[in-house]
Structures are given as structure tokens and as C-alpha cells.
Amino acid sequence: MSYKKEFIEFMVKSDVLTFGDFTTKSGRKTPYFVNTGNYKTGKQAAQLGKFYAECIMENINKGNIKGDISALFGPAYKGIPLSVATAIALSNEYDKNLNYCFNRKEEKDHGEGGSMVGYKLKDGDNVLIIEDVITAGTAIRECFPILKASANVNLTGLIISVDRMERGQHDKTAIQEIEAEFGIKTYPIVTVRDIIDTLHNVPIDGKVVIDDSVKEKMEDYLKQYCVNND
């Protein structure tokens, strides 16, 4: 089983990938939802970190991401445990010991102060961002000024769990817009197309989560909001 297929099944079994009627942060009505906030056990966190680590190493080996990463950055709040779990997995599975850091939603005005926690970023550092899902790209845009305010870092890539393949603020996908605005490429573990292809009429623990009806709703959603969904 490929790690991508394994990851999709893992999300379903963890109640992170669910199907029904939902509203995204961008206000779109969607027939499926990915909520990494539903991971809640140490075992899940350990496995999740391994999936992110495998995606990173795969893209390093392909030459998509440079191997000299200085730090992993996890945007508050969901990116925080993701960055930590990924750093642990990279150390345990690949003997790749990386720094990690994350931001506070509100800047601290006592103690060490500031808005950043963990590794102190320095000019010239190569930073890889670890996030959950991008829909319109709003949350990601918020973290760029935070990183640049900390130091003159190089943003070497963005790793996410699922690419929803949706339009951002205009006619391109949110991922394409982020690359155009900030020069940073996004590498998802899986795409929504991978999810449909993997789960359509395939039982998980004896239950089919994407039957013909759900698939039709997802395809309609892709036609309405997505770009290049083939």
C-alpha cells in the first residue's frame, strides 16, 4: 500500500476526513471536510508525523525541496502539533534532526516576549512551513509577515495534508496564488482527486464513505470551485 493510500484511510479512521454538509472557512458549502483538530492520541500524532516526514523526504529526493532545511514552522494553532510531530518523525525515521518553531496568536509582552516559540529564526535560514489544509489560502497569507518579521528567512516550501484544488481569491488555485505572490511551492501528501479515486465504492472498516451519491456531490463541488480537477 502506498503511503498516500494509507494516509487517506488513516484520515477516515481518525474521523479527520468526513463526508456530509459543511461550510469551509472561506464560506463555501462542501460535501467533505478535513479537520486535523480531530487527531487526539499519541499514536495518531506519531503516525501523522511519519506521513508528513515521508512527503518531505520524497520531495527532497525528487529535488523539489532542498535538503538543507533550517527549521520547520507550524502556524498557530493546528500547525503547531503538526510541525512537532513531523520534526520527531524526521529524527526517528530518517536521522534528520531539524529545529522547529511556531507563532503565538497574541504577542507575549513579558518573559522572553515576542510572537515566536521554539527555534529562533536567523537571517538566511531555510524554513519549511507545515500546515493542514489550504482552501482559500487565508491562514497561510497571515503567517508570511510573521516569518519575515522574525528574520530574513528563505521559505523553501509548504507541506500540507490535503490539496483541495480550489480557487483562491481569483481564477487560480489557492496554491497557485501563493506561489505567484510569495514564490513558494506547496507539496500536499494527497489531493482531493486522490481521495475520490482511492475511496470511491471502497469499504473502510466495512463501510463505504464515498458511494456514487457522495462522489457525484464531490464532482459537482470540484466543477464549481476547483481548477484543473482532472
Active-site entry in 43, 110, 207, 223:
110
Residue 110: active-site member: yes
**Structural contact between residues 224 and 166, judged by C-beta atoms closer than 8 angstroms:** no
Reduced to 3 states, what is the DSSP secondary structure of residue 206? coil
Name residues whose C-beta falls within 8 Å of residue 126's C-beta, 6 or more positions apart in sequence. Answer: 66, 68, 69, 70, 71, 153, 154, 156
What is the spatial distance between Cα 1 and Cα 218, in angstroms, rounded to a whole number? 24
Is the CB of residue 192 less than 8 Å from the CB of residue 184?
A: no
Annotated catalytic residue within 40, 108, 122, 148: 108
Structure-block grid coordinates of residue 156 = 523553501
Number of other CB atoms surrounding residue 224 within 10 Å: 12
Residue type, position 192, single letter:
V
Q: Is 170 a catalytic residue?
A: no
Cell of 63: 529535488
Q: Which residues are annotated as catalytic?
A: 108, 110
